[in-house]
Amino acid sequence: MTSDNPPSPWVTRFSEQAVGPVLDVACGSGRHTKLFLELGYDVTAVDRDTSRLGDIAAHPRLTVIETDLEQDADPWRPASAAYGAVVVTNYLWRPLLPALVDAVAPGGMLLYETFALGNERFGKPSNPDFLLAPDELKDAVAGQLDVVAYAHGEVGEPRPSVNQRICALRGPGKD
C-alpha cells in the first residue's frame, strides 16, 4: 500500500473482522481493494474509471467493474446478499444506498464513511446532495443491519472534514 493514499482508519479498524467476498464501491485508486486483497479476500472493485487501479487490476482475486453508478438507464447494482463486506468511502449516491445495504450477506458487514453536513465549511464537497444528514447512515440500515459502531463529526486526517461512519452487521439468519 502506498503511504500517500493509505486505507481509511475506519475501514482498517474493522477489516480483519470482515468476511468475503468484498465489494469496494467507488474504489478510486483501490486503497481498500488492496487492503482486502492483502488480507486474502476476493474483491469486486467498482468505479466509473478503474484506470487508477494500476497493476492490481490483474490480481487473480479481483473482479473489476467499470460503470457509472449514477447513470439513469439500467445502472449496475450489486446482487442481493452477495457480499460479506461492502465498503464505501468518500462517495454518496442516495439511490444506490438501499442496494448496498441489501448486498450485505448474512453474517456480513457494511463499512461506510463519507462526508456529512457541516463539511461545507472545509471545502468540497459542499453540495448538500452529497453530504449525509445527521444519523442518515443509521436510518439507512435500520431494521436490516445491526450497528456495531457509528460516528459523526469533525476529523482532522487526512484533511479537516465532517464525516459520518458506520460499521453495521447483518445477523447470520437475516435476509
pLDDT of residue 1: 43
Question: Residue 45 in contact with residue 63, Cβ under 8 Å?
Answer: yes
pLDDT of residue 4: 66
Give domain status of residue 33, yes or no: yes
Q: How many domains does the chain divide into? A: 1
pLDDT of residue 157: 79
Give domain status of residue 2, yes or no: no
pLDDT of residue 3: 43
Q: What CATH number corresponds to the domain at position 136?
A: 3.40.50.150
Give domain status of residue 124, yes or no: yes
Which of 116, 117, 105 shows the shortest CA–CA distance to 144?
105
Alpha helix (H) residue ranges in the chain: 9-15, 31-38, 97-102, 136-141
Grid cell in block for residue 89: 468511502
pLDDT of residue 72: 66
Residue 94 phi, psi dihedral angles, 5° rounding: -50, -40
Give domain status of residue 94, yes or no: yes
Give domain status of residue 6, yes or no: no
Q: Which domain holds residue 59?
A: 17-169
Give domain status of residue 112, yes or no: yes
Q: Bridge-partner residues for 43, per DSSP?
A: 22, 62
The pTM of this model reads 0.93
pLDDT of residue 44: 97
Cα–Cα dist 132/144, whole Å: 19
Average pLDDT per run of 10 along the chain, which is 175 residues long?
75 93 97 96 96 94 94 86 97 95 97 93 89 95 96 87 96 69
- Dihedral sign for Cα atoms in the order 64, 29, 86, 96: negative
